[in-house]
Amino acid sequence: MVNPETASWQKTIQSQIVSVTVYSDKALITRQGKMLLTGSERELVIPSLPVTLEPESVRVGGKGTVGVKLLTVSCDRIYTTEPVAERVAQLTRQIQQLETEKRHLQAQVDALTLQSQFIAGLREKTEEPFAQSISRKNLSLSETLDFLNFLGSQYSEYAIASAECHSQQQELDKQIQVLRQSLKNIQTPHSQESFNLVVGVEVAQAGEFELELSYMVNRASWQPLYDLRSHTSNKTVNLSYLAQITQNTGEDWQDVSLILSTAKPGLGTLPPKLDPWYVDVIAPPVLSMAKRRLASPSLPAIAPKAAINDEDMLTPEEAEDEVIPATNMGTEVAKEGSIVTFKLQAGGNIPSDGAPHKTTIFNDDYPCDFQYVAMPRLVSFAYLEASVKNNPQGATLLAGTANIFRDDMFVGTTELENVSPGQEFTLNLGIDEGLKIERNLVERQVDKKLMGSQRRTTYAYRLVITNLLNQEAHLKLTEQLPISRNEQIKIRLLLSTPKIPVGEMGLLEWRLTIPPQQKQEVYYQFTVEHPPELKVTGLEI
């Protein structure tokens, strides 16, 4: 029962969440609540805040038609028994309704069984007269078929209907089992924990006041995801920038202004300080009574007092906040230093269920250039790559998992690194059978005569690339020469067509442009020289 004397100077405010800023491991919650003050209030109480709240992060402000001075803020930990009567009644009604449906289904099954038995009895009773009628030619062939079709269709119809009823009964049994388990769980009483926020105030006079409250909560996070869809016909990549938000803070976020941020508020603003690095001999541990008590501390009933932003009287003129009108411009992206924030246009609806919820940050088309990459020595296929450039005035693409689609077909996933505005990045789009590559060893000849006491072996390869596409293909073709790890073994490139130099680690790289429905050949020849008595390994080509 509320004490009338206490009620005159203490007022409870019902607030609601208006905006949420989600970080990588927590979230900043902003609540607002309006009330009429009489002028005699000394405490304002905001009840039922979640236990994931960080008390030291609480900030309080407000505005209204009356001057209010905010004095102190404290968080009281409250334990209450969750009311279950209404929930028990609701679950009981649902179970009764499902059991009624189950009885109706059983009645249908019983009726179908009677009909099936009647058809079976009819078949047994008419089997002999029916056979005699056929032998006497009293029944025509069409009448015989009609009768047989009648029996078959009735059996089939009753069997299908009966199977459907049994399937529905099994599904109802599962639902009833889940509801009964839920009923059993909530009938076991358990205490519910929450915070009550108590704000000490001085109120000048009667009037309206709108309190604004913000605090950090744990068990909330977000991470970027991407859907990248390439379209080879028009040389574009459609990028869907998604956010996967997870929260189990103890309060649902319903129709709130949702902001995603890459800031890390939990890490502080100052770099860590190094403590002295001590070394010592090992001593047996001694646990005093005081340390034993500290080893298992109990939770405090009242959390530490939070800092107050506004210590002066809040008049309507001084407390007026800057208002930015909403515009239908999509997600607002802001960058300050290395911190990126996304203010989503649509209202956020993220329940506190610990499950991942996806929301779109933005969706845009990016021009790209396609090229093929092939290493025929390892794989006889060509891989398609897309070179994409991030919009110079666009948003930073944060590191995250990307689902890759090529012409609306799922190719696979890749990990996208941080991509700044104006920066290029490459997408691997998998194997494309539009290019056919044949690689053949066309020469392997050992010179019969020693060349300056050296044995020389000549190797030559021919590669034929066929473009089966209806458009020209840009191909980066990579082959390699063996690398000598002994100074007595010499490897030399004799010929390459088209002509190219040898790169690092013996790599040979051709940049080819192949017209549609055309072929192009690549040829190269190299020698390996070594003393005849030297046994060379690694030339098993």
User: 524-536, pLDDT tens digit by residue?
Assistant: 999 999 888 888 8
Q: Is the pLDDT of residue 280 over 60?
A: no
Higher per-residue confidence, 368 vs 88:
368
Lowest model confidence (mean pLDDT) among 64-73, 136-145, 401-410, 411-420: 136-145
Q: How far is CA 319 from the centre of its chain?
A: 40
* Rounded Cα–Cα distance for residues 139 and 478 (Å): 82
Percent of the chain with pLDDT over 70: 76
pLDDT of residue 3: 53
* Amino acid identity, position 8: S
* Rounded Cα–Cα distance for residues 401 and 106 (Å): 50
**528 close to 456: Cβ distance less than 8 angstroms:** yes
Rounded to 10°, the helix 85-135/141-186 angle is: 170
In this structure, what DSSP letter does residue 486 have?
Answer: S
Structure-token pair, residue 132: 């005699």
What's the whole-model pTM score?
A: 0.57
Lowest model confidence (mean pLDDT) among 391-400, 453-462, 505-514: 391-400
Beta bridge partners of 529: 456, 490
Q: Is the pLDDT of residue 268 over 80?
A: no
Q: Is the pLDDT of residue 156 over 60?
A: yes
Domain boundary among 155, 186, 217: 186
pLDDT of residue 309: 44
Lowest model confidence (mean pLDDT) among 123-132, 186-195, 214-223, 337-346: 123-132
| 300 preceded by a cis bond (ω within 30 of 0) | no
> Do the domain assignments include residue 219?
no
For the segment 13-21, the average pLDDT, to the nearest whole number, is: 92
Q: Is the pLDDT of residue 135 over 80?
A: no
pLDDT of residue 327: 27
Exposed, middle or buried: residue 78 (CB in 10 Å: 0-12, 13-18, 19+)?
A: middle
pLDDT of residue 141: 60
> Do the domain assignments include residue 134?
yes
Query: What is the chain's alpha carbon radius of gyration, rounded to the nearest angstrom?
Result: 39
Domain boundary among 132, 162, 186: 186
**Tens-place pLDDT, residues 289-329:** 333 333 333 323 323 333 344 443 333 333 333 322 222 23
> Do the domain assignments include residue 487?
yes
pLDDT of residue 114: 82
* Rounded Cα–Cα distance for residues 466 and 390 (Å): 33
Q: Which of 484, 489, 487 is nearest to 531 (CA)?
A: 489
**Tens-place pLDDT, residues 75-132:** 888 876 656 677 788 888 889 999 999 898 888 888 888 877 777 776 666 666 666 6
**294 close to 307: Cβ distance less than 8 angstroms:** no
Percent of the chain with pLDDT over 90: 30
> Do the domain assignments include residue 214?
no
In this structure, what DSSP letter does residue 516 have?
Answer: T
For the segment 341-358, the average pLDDT, to the nearest whole number, is: 84
Total structural domains in the chain? 2
> Do the domain assignments include residue 92?
yes
- Number of neighbours of residue 400 by Cβ within 10 angstroms: 17
The terminus-to-terminus CA distance of the chain in angstroms comes to 92
Q: Which of 105, 82, 102, 83 is nearest to 94 (CA)?
A: 102
**Mode of pairing for the β-strands spanning 339-343 and 207-217:** unpaired
CATH code assigned at 505: 2.60.40
* Rounded Cα–Cα distance for residues 429 and 447 (Å): 45
pLDDT of residue 334: 67
Q: Is the pLDDT of residue 38 over 70?
A: yes
Q: Is the pLDDT of residue 190 over 80?
A: no
**50 close to 194: Cβ distance less than 8 angstroms:** yes
| Structural domain range at position 515 | 435-530
Q: Which of 442, 439, 481, 435 is nearest to 463 (CA)?
A: 439
* Rounded Cα–Cα distance for residues 426 and 394 (Å): 17
Question: What count of Cα atoms within 13 Å lies in the side-chain half-sphere of residue 295?
Answer: 6
* Rounded Cα–Cα distance for residues 170 and 236 (Å): 50
**Mode of pairing for the β-strands spanning 16-22 and 27-37:** antiparallel
List strand residue ranges (DSSP E) for 390-517, in order: 400-406, 409-416, 424-432, 435-446, 455-467, 473-480, 490-497, 507-514
**250 close to 52: Cβ distance less than 8 angstroms:** yes
Domain boundary among 161, 186, 211: 186
**Tens-place pLDDT, residues 171-183:** 889 889 888 888 7
> Do the domain assignments include residue 340?
no
Mean pLDDT of the chain: 80
**Mode of pairing for the β-strands spanning 473-480 and 507-514:** antiparallel
> Do the domain assignments include residue 444?
yes
Q: Which of 488, 479, 505 is nearest to 452 (CA)?
A: 488
**243 close to 260: Cβ distance less than 8 angstroms:** yes
pLDDT of residue 431: 87
Q: How many helices (H) and strands (E) does the chain have?
A: 4, 26
Phi, psi dihedrals of residue 184, rounded to the nearest 5°: -65, -40
Q: Which of 361, 30, 33, 449 is nearest to 216 (CA)?
A: 30
Question: What count of Cα atoms within 13 Å lies in the side-chain half-sphere of residue 104?
Answer: 8
Exposed, middle or buried: residue 293 (CB in 10 Å: 0-12, 13-18, 19+)?
A: exposed
**374 close to 473: Cβ distance less than 8 angstroms:** no
**34 close to 44: Cβ distance less than 8 angstroms:** no
> Do the domain assignments include residue 470?
yes
**247 close to 372: Cβ distance less than 8 angstroms:** no
